[in-house]
């Protein structure tokens, strides 16, 4: 009897871990999870379960799980409240995350600059790690976290940093900064930088409004900027 209880307990832990991984968006190489196995996370917005979703919510949720993310972690529990808009937003986000003309390292740089601008703790938590995995230097990541211009950047990193930082802070882009980004990345690259910054600005607003929790045991890594 005790052995049976132990086996059941282990199975429950394995199931919970699998669900958590699915919610954390393991990426396009993972198998699509079952909608009933994914546990959404939220704070002000109650986490929804698949059986209680409306048909429109289920459609958006299924599209999330079958898309490149293979999960629904982050702002999607909030976006399910407006599923038609949410489904369009998640498709746009997948395009900016997985199909941008920008190389992954530079795309992640743009994302963490946006996360820092909004002091979005979960977005920073997730994309700091994605930036590290993509090859962005720790020195650049640390400088962005501190709100400082990185001391040493490659020309392509500098073009991204200048463009995104100027756009977010001044709400404009100077001729010099625009030309530097256009000459290095082309007109599509400029538009993709605007797109990724805009999408992750939306994500930051959703996460900050929800007060989306960090994983258990994880402390916020960003400090308020003066």
What CATH number is attached to the domain comprising 148? 1.20.1290.10
* pTM listed for this prediction: 0.88
Helix 175-210 / helix 83-98 crossing angle, nearest 10 deg: 130
In a domain, 146, yes or no: yes
Torsion of CA 168, 144, 214, 211, to 10 degrees: -30
As a whole number, mean pLDDT of residues 162-185 equals: 98
Helix, strand counts (H, E) of the chain: 9, 0
Cα 29 to its chain centre, rounded Å, is 17
In a domain, 132, yes or no: yes
What are the tens digits of pLDDT across the range 70-83? 889 999 999 999 99
Residue-number span of the structural domain to which 37 is assigned: 7-65+82-91
Within this chain, do residues 19 and 54 fall inside the same structural domain, yes or no?
yes
Q: CA 2 → CA 7, 8, 9, 71, distances in Å?
A: 9, 10, 10, 35
What are the tens digits of pLDDT across the range 93-146? 999 999 999 999 999 999 999 999 999 999 999 999 999 999 999 999 999 999
Reported as a pLDDT band with limits 50, 70 and 90, residue 17 is very low
Question: Do the beta carbons of residue 27 and residue 75 sit within 8 Å?
Answer: no
């Amino acid at each position: 009897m005790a052995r049976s209880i132990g086996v059941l307990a282990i199975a429950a832990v394995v199931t919970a871990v699998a669900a958590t991984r699915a919610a954390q968006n393991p990426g396009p190489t993972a198998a699509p999870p079952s909608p009933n196995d994914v546990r959404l996370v939220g704070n002000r917005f109650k986490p929804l379960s698949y059986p209680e979703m409306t048909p429109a919510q289920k459609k958006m949720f299924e599209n999330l799980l079958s898309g490149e993310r293979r999960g629904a972690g982050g702002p999607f529990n909030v976006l399910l409240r407006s599923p038609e808009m949410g489904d369009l937003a998640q498709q746009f986000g997948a395009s900016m995350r997985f199909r941008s003309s920008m190389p992954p390292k530079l795309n992640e740089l743009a994302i963490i600059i946006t996360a820092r601008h909004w002091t979005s703790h979960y977005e920073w938590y997730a994309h700091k790690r994605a930036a590290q995995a993509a090859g962005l230097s720790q020195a650049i990541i640390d400088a962005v976290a501190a709100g400082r211009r990185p001391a040493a950047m490659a020309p392509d990193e500098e073009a991204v940093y200048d463009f995104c930082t100027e756009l977010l802070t001044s709400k404009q882009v100077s001729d010099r900064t625009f030309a530097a980004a256009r000459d290095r990345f082309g007109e599509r690259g400029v538009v993709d930088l605007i797109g990724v910054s805009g999408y992750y600005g939306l994500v930051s607003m959703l996460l900050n409004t929800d007060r989306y929790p960090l994983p258990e045991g994880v402390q916020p890594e960003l400090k308020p900027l003066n």
